[in-house]
Structure 1
Amino acid sequence: MPAPAPDLPIEKLEIKGLGDLPIAVHVAGKGRDLVLIHGYFSNAWTNWVRYGHAAKLVEAGFRVIMPDLRGHGESGKPHDVAAYPPDALTEDNLALVDQLGLTDYDLGGYSLGARTTTRMLARGAAPRKVILAGMGLRGLVQTLDNGGYYRNVLTNLGSFERGTSEWMTEAFLKTTKGDPVAMLHILNTFVDTPKEVIAGFMQPVEVVCGADDRDNGVAQELADVLPNGRYVEVPGNHMNAVTRKELGQAMVDFLTA
């Protein structure tokens, strides 16, 4: 994994996730606790540090806590399918909140990180404010809607025509040094969250999504279901909206309001 920028010192911690799996946690800054969870095939560095979002949040007064999901980044990547039961990612991140003693904190994620955040809320997590990025309603209530696409990519690596969506997805996997076996097993962890459960989340929630991103459904639909949801649009599609400075700024604006 590339080294973090020298102007953003990052402390490395390790917690024990479900089944005592080691979960790597990257922490930057001092101030109000903010847990940010990255997306599928990615890692904390790629989603939050590489494009300056973490630095912007640290500057705004946050202690940014960025776990690598199981199977990703510097966390454990077992190949045993038994290590990937339903809601395993949720269990890991609830354990993070517990083991770090977080009581007054904010919580958010991008794509699979947003789905994991939603599952944490459904399981009783109680952050002050919530960010659901790169996510629409469909991606939460029908979590395996894109499962066939990813299964196809992961089981046919090296066979896709340059420039196709599948080729670009495989290229991203290579960029993050992702483990294809672990990534396949991650699909087993997905759990749907019913619309009526989502409608019961009372926290202020920012739904922030790329203008051209429909990979997980329509973000506005998700914001409309949430009692205290608001939709913020940033430039880009699902793959590149996370690289835009507007994403980090939208997060800062919401969390500091």
Structure 2
Amino acid sequence: MSEVEVHYWQASDGVSLAYRAMGEEDGSPVILVHGLFSDGLTNWIKFGHAAMLVEAGFRVLMPDLRAHGLSDAPHDPEAYPDGILGRDLCEMVEMLGLEQGGYDLGGFSLGSRTTVQAVGAGLEPRRAILSGMGLEGLTGWDRRQQFFIEAIDHFDEVKRGDPHFMAVSFMKTMGVDRVAARHLLPSFTDAKSQWLEAFTMPTAVICGTEDQDNGSAPALADALPHGEYMPIPGTHMSSVTHKDLGQALVRFLTAA
């Protein structure tokens, strides 16, 4: 497997953020953003997706969002203003010196939400990927947010069989800082119609056939100017573990 580099940089508010990189420096850059409570290592490297992209000639850049992975998880609520993850992503693109149209950008679940926010704020990737996401997940965040807040607030009471069990188990596995995570959750906002309209580039909506966690992926593809629905096997949690995700990424990003 290609060597995994770890880099650190500082956001405009002083928070230290990390990203992992794989592939040659002169490879075609693609930024992939992980899902909620995960990190770049778990989402993109562990199951071989980044390695597939490196083999196809890409340089894969995988940020750890604030309050996740190797990045800082401040406990100050002021560190989590509305739209902070999209702002961090825009600043990362600027820090890396990537030109508009000169890189690809995408994410899984929360990473898709962050991608939509950043494109809505002006990023213009060559191609975009929204995986683990449906239309309702972008336009109905309040219900989804409440679910995760309840999981955090009742963290020590949740038992096997409870609706929040899988979320709590994943937080335990990932060592999530619950104070920081709870501050972060309200910083997300529903996608504005103009954000979706900003996806003038080819956009893949890659989602597990059993994944309804964030609503309808086909409906999201239909709502985008140039959306393409690409089904893969699995649920919201299991689809990340299938090689089909990496294969779909390579197929889409290398298409003529």
Counterpart code for 2:79 = A
User: Structure 2 residue aligned with 1:35, among 31, 38, 57?
Assistant: 31
SS in 2 for 1:144: helix
Counterpart of 2:8 (choices 6, 10, 14) is: 14
Match of 1:50?
Answer: 46
Amino acid at match of 2:54: V
Equivalent pairs: percent with the same residue?
A: 45
Match of 1:168 in 2: 166
TM-score normalised according to structure 1 size = 0.95
By how many angstroms is 1:165 displaced?
3.6
Greater CA drift, 67-76 or 12-21:
12-21
Letter of the 1:58 counterpart: V
TM-score by length of 2: 0.95
Q: Distance in 2 between matches of 1:240 and 1:17?
A: 32
1:77 matched to which residue of 2? 73
Unaligned stretches of 5+ residues in structure 1 = 1-6
- Tell me the equivalent position of 2:133: 135
What is the deviation of 1:144?
A: 2.4
Q: Look up the match of 1:106.
A: 104
Cα drift, residue 18 of structure 1: 4.0
Please give the per-residue CA displacement for 1:60-110, whole angstroms capped at 9, x wherever unaligned.
Answer: 110000000000000010011111110110111111000010111000000
Matches within 5 A, 1:94-243: 94-103=90-99, 104-243=102-241
Equivalent position SS for 1:76: coil
2:82 corresponds in structure 1 to 86
Deviation at 1:196, TM superposition (A): 4.4
Contact 1:132 1:206 in 2 (8 A): yes
How far residue 29 of structure 1 moved from its aligned partner, in angstroms, is 0.3
Specify every segment of 5 or more residues in structure 2 that has no aligned partner in the other structure, as ranges.
Answer: none
1:67 matched to which residue of 2? 63
- SS of the aligned residue for 2:98 comes to coil
User: Is the CA contact 2:116–2:195 (under 8 Å) kept in the aligned structure 1?
Assistant: no
Let me know the Cα RMSD of the aligned residues: 1.1
SS in 2 for 1:217: coil
Residues 182-202 of structure 1, C-alpha deviations (whole Å, 9 max, x = no match): 111111210222234313421
Give aligned pairs, total: 251
Aligned counterparts of 2:71 and 2:223: Cα–Cα separation in 1: 34
| Partners of 2:8 and 2:16 within 8 A in 1 | yes
